[in-house]
Structure 1
Amino acid sequence: MYTKILLCYDGSREGRLALREGARLAQITGADVILLAVVETVAGNALAQGADAGALVHQQADFRAILDEGHQRLSAMGLAPELRMDFGDPVAKIKGAAAETGADLVVVGHHRQGVWTRWLNRSVAAELSDALGCSLLLAQKRVEDSELFHDG
């Protein structure tokens, strides 16, 4: 069914749910896993405009820690993910990573928003659904440890 799953991980509660759901799908299908963290474009623009480079380095270190956490979680589930960190617009970078890696499923966490927030802000998930050339899973299911960590 799936041979390569791109897990987009930001360390949030929703990101952790997505990681677990995507990991369970990888276990079931035997798919390879690519773990991706995207540092938002705003930081890159600030650097280009002469802002403090130390802030970007700090943000990069934060995302490296998030990737390391995700790697540890996936390794504990018996998976060996490829790790990727990218900088820029999340939709463009996720789309590019999916195409470059040949992912046939992209898994992202679903961040619930109110009507006004959704109207005022862009929805990465909605933009991804139009941009991707593969399936997209907005993960919301709670996957229990008994499903992830089992013998056999």
Structure 2
Amino acid sequence: MYQHLLLSYDGSREGRAALRRGAEMAIACGAETHLLAVMQPLSGLALADGILPQDIFQIEEREAREILEEGVHWLQERGLQATGHLAVGEPAERILFTARELGIDLIVVGHRNQSRLARWWRGSVGATLLDEAPCSILIVVSPENAAGAPAGKPD
């Protein structure tokens, strides 16, 4: 079945649901597991607030690494050998690049409800992945997402 899984993780409720489902798949398949956190490029808003870009980048990088380490640790507690990866850029582009680079055969991402305006403005990671992915994709829609439950630890 699947031998190389890539789980995209951002610490959000949707990301945690994808992490849980991806772990289930990895355990069932005995798959090599990779966890990817993507930092988006800095916006001009930081400059308007007088905060230096390198300061913001360092803060965001530290937070992204903590989220990534949390996810890798969670996977390892379940007996998986997980490797963490941190990337900077647009999420869909970085997921696709990483999937190709690592020879991934299943990408697992969480679904986040967005308004039509937000989807038009920011784009849809899921739609981009569906159009361009080199492998299968599992888009996890969680009951927590639909119910609006608060985010929490993956378990």
TM-score by length of 1: 0.84
CA distance in 2, matches of 1:58, 1:120: 26
Q: Point out the more displaced range, 88-97 or 116-125.
A: 116-125
Report Cα offsets for 1:76-95 as digits up to 9, x if no partner: 11111011001112111111
Matched, 1:28 2:25: no
Q: 1:115 to 1:131 in 2, by over 3 A?
A: same
- Residue number in structure 1 paired with 2:78: 77
Q: 1:21 to 1:69 in 2, by over 3 A?
A: same
Report Cα offsets for 1:73-116 as digits up to 9, x if no partner: 10111111011001112111111100110000000110012334
* TM-fit CA distance, 1:51: 4.2
CA contact (8 A) 1:7 1:107 kept: yes
- Residue number in structure 2 paired with 1:145: none
**Structure 2 stretches lacking a partner, 5+ long:** 144-154
Moved over 2 A (4+): 114-121
**Structural mapping, 1:2-81, within 5 Å:** 2-42=2-42, 51-81=52-82
**Structural mapping, 1:86-97, within 5 Å:** 86-97=87-98
RMSD: 2.2
CA distance in 1, matches of 2:53, 2:118: 30
* TM-fit CA distance, 1:54: 1.0
CA contact (8 A) 1:26 1:32 kept: yes
Q: Between Structure 1 and Structure 2, how many residues are aligned?
A: 140
TM-score by length of 2: 0.82
**Structure 1 stretches lacking a partner, 5+ long:** 143-148
Q: 1:87 to 1:119 in 2, by over 3 A?
A: closer
Percent of residue pairs identical: 41
CA distance in 2, matches of 1:117, 1:54: 28
CA distance in 1, matches of 2:53, 2:121: 29
Q: 1:66 to 1:101 in 2, by over 3 A?
A: same
- Residue number in structure 2 paired with 1:139: 140
Report Cα offsets for 1:97-145 as digits up to 9, x if no partner: 0011000000011001233433443101101111111011111246xxx
- Residue identity matched to 1:7: L
